[in-house]
Structure formats: structure tokens, C-alpha cells
Structure 1
């Protein structure tokens, strides 16, 4: 396939995803449009979506790591992490109900958020340098979404679709990372009636959420977009995703870090 044909295919995939978001109508998998199923091709599509978002006045405020939990990987049939871009309009206040019509096929998962106090833009990024760059750790809920109908995704589909990003909520509790062992954080996600919907530990996130941060910092730098001070980084799920419906309320408790809540209103897409 020629370079121009590949460029046309990547552009067509990006336009299909943009149209799905614009019309609130999930689309077929974009893998059928693309020349291969590599993550690099997926990120080429994602890059066009990021450019379109910036052109529309949206501001990049961080990154999300996806597919870090073996449970979520099993749910989606993939075997490696990915990342997406967070924009200013994706952050939802904890006390305000989320309008579900902003989403197409939402699911929710509990995570740890890192707020960076320094850039991560160097050749020798490791656990030590990543920890030193973290200003705060915060309990978080990520509301993932897919523009692809029925969540019929492979790794190239989800990477192209901005790592199936939707919205997110940060809790009010903020902590210094210090030498905290995030592998030992226990997470429980409950519904309005107190029923347990998901559970897990920090160890479910690539073995350690800090390991996920190191992976993201290195990978983002390789793609020419290093992590910057002030950005919010979502670590990836500590347990399985849970479907979201209008009227749902969720509370995630992360041991040693606090809790975060989200509720949903509306009639759905």
C-alpha cells in the first residue's frame, strides 16, 4: 500500500470516529479501513483526532493509560497497554451529576490519578524519576466510552479511538506519593445500594501503577509528546469495568487514598 493510500485510510478512520461522536451514533470498527493492525497506525489516527480537538478549542490537560488490568484486557481481548489524551472538557466535578447523553456506551472503572509537579522528559525515566515528578496522587473514576458499536474493538480500534476515552472524575482527597506502595492499594467500587460492582488492587495495574506511569512517560516521549508538569495522568483500571446507565451512582474507595463518587442523569444515547 502506498504512502498516500495509507494516509487516506488513516484520515478516513479518523473521520468515521469524529462522525460517530458528532452524531452520537456508534460506528463500525475502524480496523476494516486501515492498512494494518499495528498500534503505530492506531496512534496515527489518534493524532488526527487530537489535532481536530485542538483546532476546535479543546486543551490537552493530561493522558490516560488504558488496558493495564489483566481483567480489562480479558474483557476486550487485548494483551498490552495503550494511552489516550485527556482534554479540559473531560473532567467532571465530583458533586455534579454527569449527563449521560455526553456518552455513547459508557462504562466506569476506578483508578489512581497522578498530578505531575515536573516534566517527565528525559532519557533515563525510571521508577525513581517518575515518583519524583508526581506532586499528588488522587482517587479517580474513569468513564470510558467507545465510538465503535458494541465495543467490537481490537487494539488498533481502541488506540485510534483515543484509547476509548470518555470522561473522568477526581476525588477531593490529595496525597503526596512519597514512598507509598501503590501495589497494596485495595479498591472497591460499589453502587447506590452498597453492592460491590468491582474490586481489585494497585497490583492489577501493570503490577504497580508507578510502572504504568513509567511506561506512559517513555512511550509518550517516543511519540514526541512528553508528559508535562500540571498534567493529570490516569493510571489504568484497578479492576474490571462496569456498565453505566442513567440514574446510576458509584463510589470507589481506595485504601489509604480516600474515595471518589460519580452519579449519572439523563436518558442515554
Structure 2
């Protein structure tokens, strides 16, 4: 695979190769922090594998924002948000079986998803800019996954590993943003009928729209700004929960609706 840009750092390429091999083999790899150390390094590695995926015909459909929740930050010892890319083949239908075997070390988190209806190029942006660009809101369960063994990650590791993205499930009933109070919206997520995670929109950088503004500003002057039609997973509303084979997760978000992730055998 030699499709990354000619100016790519060879060390970044080595890190990208390690992560790609782990995903292809289904065997988690060692952390890549022996090769990279900064967030900028991590995004350079992530971009190499993003460009490879696009060259292979995968379709970019949005972004996920990670590490927005203080509980998640404490879990991983990381103190700032990050982002990764979403491809169409990472989506799974609400309530239908998800092949458990396509993940290495899956965990589930409940989130608010925004679907964008206008390009957000340039910036900086205000919350009003982002609100005008949101077409509708959906409940979501993100399946986070790590190609790095035992989730032994630093910020650079997780960014390089596409912000530990694995997959996502969206609810099927769109809700207009107008009139929603996403900050106070309560979330409850169950696993096999037992409540395992609770929270609210305030846990996501104080408000899910704050996370969306951060993302729009971060991407606005890059080769991959937010564009009309993009899905934005704004970040976890509560603690992340490990996933086992045959688990059924249901997330309910006040005012937004519910979504179910069913993990098949």
C-alpha cells in the first residue's frame, strides 16, 4: 500500500501499517507510541489510513468526536477531545444483529448524533452557525474499538487508531433541533435489560453543540471539512461499557428517542 502522499513521514507510515495490519488480522497490536508521541503525529497517521480507505472505495459519511465526557477521560487518562472518521460500512441497522466478530475489543457508548445539511468550511464558527447547519438529531450507540492490545492507549495512540472507532447504530426517527434542550437531555443505556450507563448532554463538553463547534473549527480549513449530509457523533453521554457476544444494548435519550444495538454470535 503506497497510496499515502509523497511527503508522509516514514515513521507515520510504519504506525499506520501496524494499525492496519491489526485490523486486517483481527489481532490487536502493540501501542504505536514507540513511533509517535503527539496529537499531530496521531492525526498524520490517521490521515494515511483514511486516504488508503478512500482509495479502496470506502465512503466517508461523517466524524465521531471522542473523549468529550469527563468519565471517559478518567477511564483513559486523557484530557482533551479528539476525532475520527466514519465510513458507510461502519453503520449497523437499529435493532438488527451486528456481527460481533468484526470487532476486536468492543465497547458501547450512548451519544447524540447530528446530521449536517450545509458545508462548514473555513471558520471559526459560532454555535449559531452550527445550529443552522444541523438538519436533524438522532440517538446513537457508538461501538468503540481499539486495534491496540488491552486498550493500552495514550492520546496519540487513540487518534492514530481513528479515535478508536469501530461502528455505530443510529435511531430511525429524526428529530428537529428546534426546541430540544440537548444540555439537560437525560440518557439511560441498558445491557440485556440492566441499566449500565447514565448521563446527560451536559457531560459532552458541557453541551453536544459545543463538541460540534469544536469539530467544525478543527476541520474547517483541512482537506476534509464537515459537509452537507455528514453524520457527527458528538461524544459519550455516560460511561463506556464493555460488549460481550450476544449482548443487547438500548439507549434512551430524553427528547431524542431510543436506539438498540444487538450483537450477534
Q: Which residue of 2 aligns with 1:141?
A: 141
Q: Distance in 1 between matches of 2:75 and 2:206?
A: 18
Match of residue 204 from structure 2: 205
Corresponding residue pairs, total: 260
Q: What is the root-mean-square deviation of aligned Cα atoms in Å?
A: 1.4
**Could you report, residue by residue, the CA deviation over 1:109-138 in whole angstroms, capped at 9, with x for unpaired residues?**
000000011111132411000000000100
User: In structure 2, how many angstroms separate the alpha carbons of the residues matched to 1:124 and 1:44?
Assistant: 22
Aligned-pair CA distance for 1:178: 1.6
Judging by fraction of residues, say which structure has more helix. 1
> 1:88-121: CA deviations, max 9, x gaps?
1001011321001110000000000000111111
Q: Residue 58 in 1 paired to residue 58 in 2?
A: yes
Decide whether the 8 Å contact of 2:121 with 2:221 is kept in 1.
no
Question: TM-score, normalising length from structure 1?
Answer: 0.94
Q: Does 1:247 align with 2:246?
A: yes
SS in 2 for 1:189: strand
The separation in 2 between residues aligned to 1:142 and 1:264, in whole angstroms, is: 13
Encode CA deviations 1:44-92: one digit per residue, 9 max, x unaligned: 0000010111111101000000000000011011000000000010010
Secondary structure in structure 2 of the residue aligned to 1:159: helix
- 3-state secondary structure, aligned to 2:27: coil
Which residue number in structure 2 is paired with residue 24 of structure 1?
26
* C-alpha deviation, 1:224, in angstroms: 3.2
Aligned counterparts, 1:105-254, within 5 A = 105-192=105-192, 194-254=193-253
SS class of match (2:251): strand
Gaps of 5+ in 1: none
Within the candidate set 10, 14, 21, 1:12 is matched to 14
Whole-Å separation in 2 of the counterparts to 1:122 and 1:58: 25
Distance 1:130 1:6 in 2: 32
Within 5 Å, give how 1:255-266 maps onto structure 2.
255-266=254-265
Residue equivalent to 1:90: 90
Q: Distance in 1 between matches of 2:246 and 2:8?
A: 43
Q: Is the 8 A contact 2:183 2:207 kept in 1?
A: yes
Deviations 1:141-191 (Å, cap 9, x if unpaired)? 000000000000000000000000000000122111124221011000012
Residue ranges of structure 2 left out of the alignment (5+ in a row): 1-5
